[in-house]
Chain A
C-alpha cells in the first residue's frame, strides 16, 4: 500500500512525532511505500538540524535523516508553517535576508499543494497529532 503521512506536532513535546517515525519504519519493513511525509503546524520543528537532545535520548531529526537516506523518502516541510516558526533553508535565508538557516539535509521546503497531492496520490493519508 502507498502511504502519505502528515505530522502536525513538534519533536519531544508530543508523541506524534515519534509515532510517525515508528509507523514509517513498520510500514517500510512490511514492504509498503511511503509516498511523502508532510510536516505541518509545529511539526515543521522536526526538520531543524540545530536541536541538541540529551545524549541518552533519541534524536528525532537524525532518525528522519537516516530513514530518508536509506529509503529515499520525500520529507516536505510546509513553507508557510515553517516561515512563521523560524524554520528556513539556505535559499529562503538568502531570499528573506536572514543571517542563518536551520533546515536539515534530507528535508525540502515546499507548499501546501504538496500535502493535497500526497492525499491524492496515496492510498491512505495518515495524520499524526493535533
Chain B
C-alpha cells in the first residue's frame, strides 16, 4: 500500500547542502513506488530556476537533475505562488518540468502545479509522510 510522501524544499540551492541532499532522498525514494509529491516554498523556489550557473562558486550545478524527475515518476511538483511573487519571480523563471503520461500515449504533461499558500495547506493536509529540507 503506497503512502503519500511529501518533500518540502525551503532553502536556496547552494547556500547550504539541504537542497542537494533532499534531491538525493527523492531519487532514492522513487524506487519505493510511493505516491510522491514535492513542494517548493520560500527560498526553495530558487532551486527550480532556469539558467543556473555555479562556475563562480565552484560547486556542482545540480539543477539539470530536476528535469529528470519525470522519468522517476515524480511528477507532482507544487510551487507556492506567493513565494515566487515575494521574490519577484514567475513560472517563466523556472525550468519547464514535464513527464510522459504512459496511459495517454506518452503525452508530455507539465509537472509543476502553481498553488496558493492556502491551496498548499490542503495538499499538505492529505500527506502521510512529510520530509522537510
Verify if B62 is at the interface (C-beta below 8 Å from A): no
Which A residues between 80 and 130 are near B, CB-CB below 8 angstroms? 80-81, 111-113, 115-117, 119-120, 125, 127, 130
Pick the contact of B32 from A6, A80, A113, A130 — CB < 8 Å? Answer: A113
Binary contact readout B116-131 vs A (1 if CB under 8 angstroms, 0 otherwise) = 0000000000000111
Pick the contact of B28 from A6, A41, A116, A120 — CB < 8 Å? Answer: A116
The interface residues of chain A lying within 8 Å CB-to-CB of B31 are: 113
Verify if A40 is at the interface (C-beta below 8 Å from B): yes
Contact check, B3 vs A40: say whether CB atoms are below 8 A apart. Answer: no
Q: Take A120-B34, A125-B129 as given contacts and tell me if A112 and B18 are in contact as well, using a CB distance cutoff of 8 Å.
A: no
The interface residues of chain A lying within 8 Å CB-to-CB of B18 are: 8, 41, 130
Contact check, A127 vs B132: say whether CB atoms are below 8 A apart. Answer: yes
The interface residues of chain B lying within 8 Å CB-to-CB of A117 are: 32
The interface residues of chain B lying within 8 Å CB-to-CB of A115 are: 25, 29, 131
Which B residues between 8 and 28 are near A, CB-CB below 8 angstroms? 11, 17-18, 21, 24-25, 28
Pick the contact of A119 from B5, B21, B24 — CB < 8 Å? Answer: B5
State the majority secondary structure of interface residues on B.
mixed
In the complex formed, the residue of A with least CB distance to B17 is: A41
Q: Take A111-B28, A112-B25, A113-B28 as given contacts and tell me if A119 and B3 are in contact as well, using a CB distance cutoff of 8 Å.
A: yes
The interface on chain A, measured as residues whose beta carbon lies within 8 A of the other chain's beta carbons, has a size of: 17
Contact check, A81 vs B21: say whether CB atoms are below 8 A apart. Answer: yes
In the complex formed, the residue of A with least CB distance to B5 is: A119
The interface residues of chain A lying within 8 Å CB-to-CB of B3 are: 119-120
Verify if B133 is at the interface (C-beta below 8 Å from A): yes
The interface residues of chain A lying within 8 Å CB-to-CB of B28 are: 111-113, 116
Residues of A near any B CB (own CB < 8 A) = 6, 8, 40-41, 80-81, 111-113, 115-117, 119-120, 125, 127, 130
23 sample A-B contacts, Cβ–Cβ < 8 Å, listed by A number? A6-B131, A40-B25, A41-B18, A80-B24, A111-B28, A112-B25, A112-B29, A113-B28, A115-B25, A115-B29, A115-B131, A116-B5, A116-B25, A116-B29, A116-B32, A116-B34, A119-B5, A120-B32, A120-B129, A125-B130, A127-B131, A127-B132, A130-B18
Residues of B near any A CB (own CB < 8 A) = 3, 5, 11, 17-18, 21, 24-25, 28-29, 31-32, 34, 129-133
